[in-house]
Amino acid sequence: MSWVTQLARPEIVALKAYEHAAWEPALERLHANELPWRSFADESLAGLNRYPEPQPRALVERLASLYDVSVESVLVGRGSDEAIDLLVRGFCRAGHDSVVICPPTFGMYSIAARIQGANVLTVPLRADAGFALDEQAVLDQCKRDVKLVFLCSPNNPTGNLLSADSILRLTRALEGKAVVVVDEAYIEFSGAQSLARRIPELPHLAILRTLSKAYALAGARCGTLIADPEVILLLRKVIPPYAIAQLCMEAVLKALEPTQIAVSKARLETIRSERERMLAALPTCSNIVRVWPSAANFLLAEFEDAPLALARSRGARLLIRDVRGYPGLGRCLRITVGSPEQNNRLLDALR
């Protein structure tokens, strides 16, 4: 019996996946109850009157190449949110199993768990150490019913990278017990290497990647789960058969052409430069108590009067994120690094 079979929900292990219509592009389709004509508004390459290819091969191959992993380790979904949901549904029995999260962190981990009926155990990040991971405390929480440990690096909303060594030690210690899921939504802004390359030696490690941030495709909703091939096979039973819309696939493939990737890399450099400029400039605003260093495309700032800062930013026609509801961030706001013009306008408003 494989480790995935032992950890996953028995119902999912036993589930026979939905059999979608066969994908044979060389043949004319009279087997999927589609209309034979396109809509007049249809400007897609393949035709929106046809169902898209399940887990489109060209897209999976392009993403595997982008992230330097095998195609067998890739599952494409509607943003990282869908991958989070699939992991919880695949591994956690309602009312029985648990996930561990490390607040303050991305809220979808706990929401997906609670929708599934899984318990949510919390191990706060160490605010006194720059929101570092409390490795031993996570291990102490990982009892028999814990199936998933969600870690975000760089962490949202604090912006810091978690220690790669701590994550790898934790993964080794939880072998056979739980899957360690590392959300690398902002890794491109950090300059750090992805941990995805460690999956062949640490199959209990899973990585979340997204095109929403660094590749300017938030509206396309395209995320990737990189995991042991057995995990991918398990979750392919759970994901809807036509999860990736045709227009999304075509847009992503175009955006990942070499010339477009070069543009994305240049924009990354601009964001990193603007992030450091904002990190230096924001503390000169009298209302700001402190600004934390960041490896992402945003900065976490503590204000003496957060409502005043929110009002002034709105007055400059800018929205910044109110994160005061997160544990330990009672006076904090999260500021996305924008264009140089937007950043100047925000600084002027806050001053």
Look at residue 19 in the predicted model and tell me its pLDDT.
Answer: 85
Mean pLDDT, all residues of the chain: 96
Architecture per CATH, domain 3-256, reads as 3-Layer(aba) Sandwich (3.40)
| Cα first-last separation, the chain | 62
| Strand-by-strand arrangement of the 321-322 sheet | 288-291, 298-303, 332-336, 321-322
Query: What is the per-residue pLDDT across 18-70, written as a single tens digit (0 to 9) for each?
Result: 888 888 888 888 889 989 999 999 999 999 999 999 999 999 999 999 999 99
Look at residue 336 in the predicted model and tell me its pLDDT.
Answer: 98
**Measured between alpha carbons, how far is 3 from 234 in angstroms, rounded to an integer?**
12
293 in Cβ contact with 159 (< 8 Å): yes
Look at residue 18 in the predicted model and tell me its pLDDT.
Answer: 87
pLDDT interval class at 259 (50, 70, 90): very high
| Within this chain, domains 3-256 and 259-350 share the same CATH topology | no
Determine how β-strand 146-152 pairs with β-strand 119-122.
Answer: unpaired
* Phi, psi torsion values for 132, nearest 5 degrees: -75, 155
pLDDT beyond 80 at 1 = no
**Measured between alpha carbons, how far is 10 from 90 in angstroms, rounded to an integer?**
9
**Measured between alpha carbons, how far is 284 from 290 in angstroms, rounded to an integer?**
10
Look at residue 23 in the predicted model and tell me its pLDDT.
Answer: 86
Query: What is the per-residue pLDDT across 286-302, written as a single tens digit (0 to 9) for each?
Result: 999 999 999 999 999 99
Query: What is the per-residue pLDDT across 100-118, written as a single tens digit (0 to 9) for each?
Result: 999 999 999 999 999 999 9
Indicate the class that CATH gives domain 259-350.
alpha beta
Query: What is the per-residue pLDDT across 134-192, written as a single tens digit (0 to 9) for each?
Result: 999 999 999 889 999 999 999 999 999 999 999 999 999 999 999 999 999 999 999 99
% pLDDT > 70, the chain:
100
Query: What is the per-residue pLDDT across 119-138, written as a single tens digit (0 to 9) for each?
Result: 999 999 999 999 999 999 99
Segments making up each domain of the chain, as ranges: 3-256, 259-350
**Measured between alpha carbons, how far is 102 from 121 in angstroms, rounded to an integer?**
9
